[in-house]
Structure 1
Amino acid sequence: MISLNKAGRNSYSDVKQELVRLYLSAFTEGISAQKITTDDAETYLDKLFTDGYGIFGFSDDQLIAALISIPLTSDNERPENIRTLYDSTTTEYIAEVLVDKNFRGMGLGKKLMQTFEDHLDKNSEHVLLRVWDQNEAAVTLYQKTGFEVCGHIVQEKIRPLTNEKFVMHKNYMVKTY
């Protein structure tokens, strides 16, 4: 049985190593594989949970999925049009959606999004996220749940085995409430 729970800093501390594993699995394998060290992942996730929170999915007490939301002001890479169009006091920002590769295709992404929406502040007018434009499964999920492209950025990444640089085009997507 899969359970989904809202999680703050204390809950994060309890599953930190599992979340680091989930994060590294999502971003260091497959066609989007990037060079990310365990220390880099820990530092990044620690920062997210300084002001953010998560929706954690568990199967038999194992962390299998997570959605992490942070204040919009924490996204320093957002383009000027995003800064102008979306008020940080009424806009939530989803920094990460992670699903263990062994549990993909089971609707967990959709359930994470639904649970996140159940916990939205009643004053929230928008939710923003960004996604690699080549991640078809994620883009399709976000579109099906009401998100639309509203901007983009380009990020330079490094491949893990060859240290070769490559570019990722990422779309910002928004859902209005």
Structure 2
Amino acid sequence: MFMDKQAFAVKGLDYTIRSAVEKDAEELSALRLVIDGETENLDREKGEAFIDPAGFAKLISEDTENPRNLFLVAVANDRIVGFSRCEGNQLRRSSHKVEFGVCVLKEFWGYGIGKQLLQQSISWADENGIRKMTLHVLETNEPAIALYQKLGFEIEGILKQDKLLADGTYYNTIVMGRFHEST
């Protein structure tokens, strides 16, 4: 699915959020590798499950054509600084929901970019008859959990000792969902 560009200005930073296009593939491949090395809040360590530019181009193309998928990028200072995806499922029993994921370069934390990516995704989901958005978040990512709850997500469950982090400790993953009732 494709969404029009939206502009934002926060704390002196101007940025836009728009649908990813195939020419973003090379930059997204490099960006994802950097972000994966900046935080343990994501599922991957740096270099794991690497997606090369061709892989991103294919993903962007498929997401643009699929009415149940949305791939957004955040652009500041003429470069992509974050992205998010909503991925739906074609199985009839699961076709009412999408899973949301987001990542932003650490130097751009605090400007509301992740929040805007999520809010744009929520609006898209609500406008397109998607009844449920789900996401997974590491229990230690308290700012993200608070944001998700503020935007209507509820804790649905806990995956105990789900992630092994660099400190050698297992941490829980929190499963959250947001429901949109059809009118």
TM-score w.r.t. length of structure 1: 0.72
- Indicate whether 1:104 and 2:109 are aligned: yes
Residue segments in structure 1 that go unaligned for 5+ positions in a row: 74-86
**How many residues in Structure 1 have an aligned counterpart in Structure 2?**
155
Give the conservation status (yes or no) of the 8 Å contact 1:64–1:99. yes
- 2:12 matched to 1:5? no
Residue aligning to 2:8: none
**Higher RCO (C-alpha under 8 Å, 6+ residues apart):** 1
1:42 aligns to what?
A: 50
Structure in which a larger fraction of residues adopt helix: 1
Aligned to 2:179: 176
- Compared with structure 1, are the counterparts of its residues 37 and 26 closer, same or farther at alpha carbon in structure 2 (3 Å cutoff)? closer
* Counterpart residue number, 2:122: 117
Q: Which runs of 4+ in 1 moved over 4 A?
A: 32-35, 43-48, 50-53
1:148-159 equivalence runs, <5 A:
148-154=154-160, 155-159=162-166
| Superposition RMSD in Å | 3.2
Partner AA of 1:14 in structure 2: E
73, 84, 99: which one aligns with 1:56:
73
Whether the aligned pair in 1 keeps the contact of 2:70 and 2:85 (CA below 8 Å) is: yes
Match of 2:147 in 1: 141
Instruction: Find the aligned partners of 1:171 and 1:26 in 2 and give their Cα distance.
Output: 17
What is the percentage of aligned positions where both structures have the same residue?
19
- 1:67-107 Cα distance to aligned partner (Å, 9 max, x none): 1222358xxxxxxxxxxxxx41000101x221222221222
Q: TM-score of the superposition, structure 2-length normalised?
A: 0.70
Gaps of 5+ in 2: 1-13, 64-68
